[in-house]
Structure 1
Amino acid sequence: MKLSADLIEFQTRLGHAFSQPELLLRAVTHSSMSSPVRQDNQRLEFLGDRVLGLVMAQAILEADASASEGLLAPRFNALVRKETCADVAREIALGDVMKLGRSEMMSGGRRKQALLGDAMEAVIAAVYLDGGFEAAQAVILRLWGKRIHTVDADARDAKTALQEWAQARRMPPPKYVELSRTGPDHAPIFTIEAQLQSGESAKATAGSKRQAEQAAAEALLAKMT
C-alpha cells in the first residue's frame, strides 16, 4: 500500500521509513475509526509500552552507572509515563496524522494527552515490528535523548511527591475528592481537590481523573513548600 503525503512527511519527522506502511497506518488509527477492514492501534499500544520500557531501562542504566534502584525507578517512571509520551508526540506533530472518528475530532482529540500518548506508544511498536529492536531503539533514543540526560535525579510525579511530603510530617496520605464531572461522555472534564489532614487543599481541572489528581497534587505541593 501507499502512504498519504502527510504520513510520508511524518516518517521524516519520526526518523524511520516503513517497509510495511500498513503498520504506520494502523499505529495512527484510533479505535473511533476502526472497522472490519481497518485495525486500530490498541494492540500496538500495548506492545509499544513494553518496547519503550526496555529501551528506557537500558538507557538510564548506561547514563548513570552509579545510581541506585531508588533513583533509577522514579527516573524511569518520568520517562515512560503517558505525559512524556504525549509531549514527544507533540514535538513530531503526531496529532496531525492521527485517524480519528468524528466525535473525537469534534472534541479536540488531536490535542488530547491520552490519545497522543497512546498513539506514540503504538508508533514505537510499529517501528519495532517493521525494523526490529535496533530500529525502535534508535527512534526512541533520538526522540527522548535530551530527556534521558536531563531527567531530574529525583523525578517523581506530583502525587508521589505530595504523599512523601505528608509522610515525612507524620500525616496520612492525601485524599483526592472528585468535586465535579462535566461534559459529554466522550470528553469528560473532572475537577479534583487534593486534601491534607491538616486542612490545606488545592483544586485542579483536567480531561481525565489522573491528570486532574496530578495537577491538584502539584498545586497543593507548591502551596506547602
Structure 2
Amino acid sequence: MLEPATRKWLADSGFTVRDEGMWRAALTHGSTGDAENYERLEWLGDRVLGLSISEWLFHDSGQAEGHLAQRLNALVSRDTCACCAREIGVPDHVRLGKQARDDGAADSDNVLGDVMEALLGANFLDAGFDATRDLVRLLWADAVDGRRGRSKHPKSALQEWAAGNRRKAPEYDLVDRSGPDHNASFTVRVRVHNVGEVEGKASSKQAAETAAAKAFMERYG
C-alpha cells in the first residue's frame, strides 16, 4: 500500500485516491521488479491527457487545425509532462530500483513524464474524466498560458518557453563523449527550430542536457 506521506502528497496535489494498490503501481518503475508498475496506467493517462488538452484548446482558441495540432503536441509532450511532474514533487515519491535511481532515473524526463501520465490514468479510474480534466487544467495552466518559463529546472523552462511561443519542442543531440567511465565528459546540443542552438557540457548526458537548456534560455529566453 501507499506510504502515508505519499498518500497525503497525492491528496494535496489534487488527486483522488481510493484504490491504493493502483496508485502505488502508478508511481512504480519497472526496475523495482514489482509485478505491477506504471506502464498500463501511463498508456491510459496519455489518452486522458490528450483529450483534456484537445477540448481545452478547441474551446479556448480559434486557431486553425494545424496550429491546434502543433500546440497539442507541445503540451502533451514528454518534456511538458516531466515539467508538471517536477513541479508537484513526483521525484520524491517515484519508486525505483537501486540501479535506476543511481543512474539518475528520478530526474529523467522519460520516467517523470510517464509517471505523470500514469497518475492521470489512475485519477481517471478513481474519479472519472470530469475530475481529471479539471485537474489537468490546474496542473497545465502555466504551460497553456506560456508562463512556466520561471521553472527552476532549465529543461522544463525551455520546453515551456517553446510551447508558450508556439515553437516546436527542443531537440537534444549528443555531440561528444570523452574520457574514461569514472571521469566522462558529455557535450549535448539543444536546438529549437527557427530560433537557434546551444551546447552544454557536463559529466553526464542528463546534466549536459540541463546545461545546454540553461544556456539556451540565457541566450534566447
Give me the TM-score of the superposition, normalised by structure 2: 0.72
Q: Does the Cα contact within 8 Å between 1:204 and 1:212 map onto a contact in 2?
A: yes
| Counterparts of residues 101-180 of structure 1 (less than 5 Å) | 101-150=97-146, 154-157=165-168, 178-180=175-177
**What does residue 17 of structure 2 align with?**
18
**What does residue 163 of structure 1 align with?**
none
Q: Does the Cα contact within 8 Å between 1:18 and 1:130 map onto a contact in 2?
A: yes
Q: CA deviation at 1:193?
A: 5.0
Note closer, same or farther for the CA distance 1:159–1:119 as it changes in structure 2 (3 Å cut). closer
How many angstroms apart in 2 are the aligned matches of 1:69 and 1:193?
Answer: 31
Note closer, same or farther for the CA distance 1:20–1:223 as it changes in structure 2 (3 Å cut). closer
Is residue 2:55 matched to residue 1:58?
A: yes
Is residue 2:54 matched to residue 1:72?
A: no
Q: CA deviation at 1:210?
A: 11
- Secondary structure at the counterpart of residue 179 of structure 1: strand
Q: CA deviation at 1:223?
A: 7.8
How many angstroms apart in 2 are the aligned matches of 1:47 and 1:177?
Answer: 31
Is residue 2:37 matched to residue 1:34?
A: no
Q: Does the Cα contact within 8 Å between 2:174 and 2:205 map onto a contact in 1?
A: no
Q: CA deviation at 1:29?
A: 0.2
What is the root-mean-square deviation of aligned Cα atoms in Å? 3.8
Q: Does the Cα contact within 8 Å between 1:45 and 1:125 map onto a contact in 2?
A: yes
How many angstroms apart in 2 are the aligned matches of 1:223 and 1:99?
Answer: 36
How many angstroms apart in 2 are the aligned matches of 1:6 and 1:183?
Answer: 41
Larger Rg belongs to: 1
Q: Number of aligned pairs?
A: 200
Q: CA deviation at 1:93?
A: 0.5
Q: Which runs of 5+ in 1 are unaligned?
A: 161-175
**What does residue 165 of structure 1 align with?**
none
- Secondary structure at the counterpart of residue 128 of structure 1: helix
Q: CA deviation at 1:150?
A: 3.2
How many angstroms apart in 2 are the aligned matches of 1:94 and 1:45?
Answer: 14
How many angstroms apart in 2 are the aligned matches of 1:69 and 1:183?
Answer: 50
Give me the TM-score of the superposition, normalised by structure 1: 0.71
Amino acid at match of 1:73: A
- Secondary structure at the counterpart of residue 118 of structure 1: helix
Q: CA deviation at 1:207?
A: 10
Amino acid at match of 1:128: F
Note closer, same or farther for the CA distance 1:112–1:182 as it changes in structure 2 (3 Å cut). farther
Pick which of 92-101 and 12-21 moved more: 12-21
Match of 1:100 among 91, 96, 99: 96
Q: Does the Cα contact within 8 Å between 1:74 and 1:154 map onto a contact in 2?
A: no
**What does residue 6 of structure 1 align with?**
5
Q: CA deviation at 1:191?
A: 3.5
How many angstroms apart in 1 are the aligned matches of 2:90 and 2:121?
Answer: 15
**What does residue 150 of structure 2 align with?**
none
How many angstroms apart in 2 are the aligned matches of 1:123 and 1:115?
Answer: 12
